[in-house]
Copies of this chain bind each other. A is one copy, B any other.
């Protein structure tokens, strides 16, 4: 069979300085790859866009290697097996893995994980039942260790991770306060997800005051997705023995200079507080435990998840850039193929 040049790809053509824009990306077309023995050919269904990818656009050592210039962007992707040269996967199976932003990929059997579409829609494997859910689960429970009756504050509360963190904290019997960037998000957190309070940091006259009101007993756990001045305000309210899982710092990712702010060590010191950076991969050997629990909560309707879906591979850069404008409520996905058969 002659290879066809019908594999559209989003490649990185420029490393951004400060805020990235569409000029960093380019849509190209290449040959559809052919699977070798032990590999599957996958047709992309959904692409996950995530804030941490901003760091990978820099040519700088971090916890994940930088994206390479002139190569496809990559990250969490759901694919459908359209050809299999493996024993374990067959045509029609859905899998999730770290794959390129393109129409077609090949992957070894061990490089992807088969999705059970009976538990939840397949897209959940990039969200509540994927890295997003596991990030919320381990960051909150393993580092934050919320106890019944404690106050948990989450920033980026209406984002993919934040929505789940708040709900898990509610399951654990905590008072949950979310910080988000629009009235629509705030309403969603309280009305739909059962947060005890939520604050629109963009419209509130005084964030410190609003937080003090929402957290009359101080803050025991602060799950931080955003950093910057929002975090300054929360850290000012921490209680003795507070725990601060550091999940993201999206407010700082596009800073061109080293961000400056009030030193936080005095607050951590005088409160015997803990701050711990993490990435979900630190918990790789416990992913099974996390998925089982998250699936159980979904089934029991204790956990809901929101998705924003943009259609079309060509719109993946737009979806990604939207994260930094706070456009998404819940998980931002890009749908690439038509609805699965």
Contacts and interface: CB of A to CB of B under 8 A. Distances in A.
Contacts of A62: 270
Contacts of A103: none
A276 B143 CA distance: 12
Contacts of A224: 265
A115 interface: no
Given A227-B266, A266-B227, A274 B272 contact: no
B263 A227 contact: yes
B227 A246 contact: no
Nearest to A252: B266
Contact of A270 (B231, B247, B276, B277): B277
Contacts of A274: 274-277
Q: How many copies does the complex hold?
A: 2
Contacts of A265: 224, 227, 231, 246, 249, 252, 264, 275, 277
Interface stretch (A26-34, A180-188, A253-261): A253-261
A240 B64 CA distance: 12
A259 B262 contact: yes
A272 B278 contact: yes
A136 interface: no
Given A270-B55, A270-B277, A278-B272, A260 B258 contact: no
Nearest to A281: B272
Given A263-B259, A266-B249, A275 B275 contact: yes
Interface in A264-295: 264-266, 268-279, 282
Contacts of A273: 276-277
B260 A261 contact: yes
Nearest to A231: B265
A248 B269 contact: yes
Interface size class of A (residues with CB under 8 A): 35 or more
The interface centre, meaning the residue of A252, A264, A271, A273 with most chain B CB atoms within 10 A of its CB, is A264
Nearest to A245: B269
A277 B63 CA distance: 25
A240 B271 contact: no
B272 A279 contact: yes
A7 to B, nearest CB: 33
A240 to B, nearest CB: 7
Interface of A: 55, 62-63, 224, 227-228, 231, 240, 246-249, 252, 258-266, 268-279, 282
Given A268-B277, A272-B278, 13 more contacts: A55-B270, A63-B272, A228-B263, A231-B265, A246-B269, A248-B269, A252-B263, A252-B265, A259-B263, A260-B260, A261-B261, A272-B276, A274-B276
